[in-house]
Amino acid sequence: MRKRPRVTGKARCSKSKMRSLRQDVCQSSMAARGFTLIELLIVVVVVAVLAAIAVPSYRYFILQSHRADAKTALATLQLAQEKYRGNNLTYATTLTALGLTAASPQGYYTIAIQSASSSGYAANATVAGQQTADTTCQKLAVTQAGFSTDSTKTSNPSDCWGL
């Protein structure tokens, strides 16, 4: 009986060895060699294409999620105005009278009171800081009647603000 040669992980299997050795041993030693340069380049190209698609989508999602900051700030302003009106005969004309600052809670919008009287008020939130990259939805307004949008600065208000 003839002895078969031992195959280690470093051994390469040629066609002649494939006949004399078990096929699974030769395949396992070939698989242990690693990746080729072409396989590695294909993976890099696929990752680059996915990143080129994902990064702009992620950026848009972040800008869209920051819009809640404007709605929160203006809702706080509404409550403060109604509380102020309950204690006075008119709505407040300044943010300091309401105890508020000009920046939204997270700083993505600037809040301003446009007008105020005994019968109503108008205030708005405009983009500031990092949010200035949001060119489609730049302004949200609020009055005593509720939220409204500036149609000249907004392409589609319901898409922008979810109102």
pLDDT digits (tens, 9 = 90+) for 28-44: 555 557 889 999 999 99
CA dist 158 and 156 (Å) reads 6
Average pLDDT, the chain: 82
pLDDT digits (tens, 9 = 90+) for 45-69: 999 999 999 988 898 899 989 999 9
CA dist 161 and 70 (Å) reads 9
For 140-155, b where at least 16 C-beta lie within 10 A, e where not — what string?
Answer: bbbbbeebbbeeebbe
Torsion of CA 74, 140, 103, 123, to 10 degrees: -60
What pLDDT sits at residue 159? 73
| Intra-chain end-to-end CA distance of the chain, in Å | 86
Residue indicated by tokens 């990092």: 130
Higher pLDDT, 25 or 120: 120
Token couple for 133: 């990259």
